[in-house]
Amino acid sequence: MKITKSELKKIIREELEAKTPVQEGFENLTPENLEILMKAVQHFATQPAVAAALATGGLVAAVAKIKELMQSEAPAHAGQSAEVGGQTVYAKGTKD
């Protein structure tokens, strides 16, 4: 899909105007959670798919690939667990 420069500027302008500051979730930024995040990033940074995404699409593509890999390795249903970046993670929510 191709878009013109003016269409792209319009989209960016609309997104910037629509953004509201994040006012929730900061209570989850604990040293323990940041440590888990860094271990996961270290784990996925060594994956060939992430390195290829970084080389071809830059940091944004690498982050998107890490997100994709984390979702594929994360537990799918409440109560399940999986190893992600050397850490055991558990799915939240109600069981099906």
Q: Is residue 1 part of a domain?
A: no
Tens-digit pLDDT profile for residues 45-93: 788 888 888 888 888 888 888 888 877 765 555 556 666 556 666 665 5
> 4 by DSSP, 3-state: which?
coil
State the residue range of the domain holding 77.
28-96
Q: How far is CA 59 from the centre of its chain?
A: 12
**Residue 64 domain-assigned (yes or no):** yes
44 falls within a domain: yes
Q: What is the pLDDT of residues 4-59, one digit of tens each?
A: 888 888 888 887 777 666 666 777 778 888 888 888 888 887 888 888 888 888 88
- The tally of domains found in the chain comes to 1
Q: Residue 96: which pLDDT band, with cuts at 50, 70 and 90? A: very low
Q: Are 78 and 93 in contact (CB under 8 A)?
A: yes
**Phi, psi for residue 83 in degrees, rounded to 5:** -90, 125
How many other C-beta atoms lie within 10 A of the C-beta of residue 31? 7
Contact 84, 74 (CB under 8 A): yes
Please check whether residue 7 lies inside any domain of the structure.
Answer: no
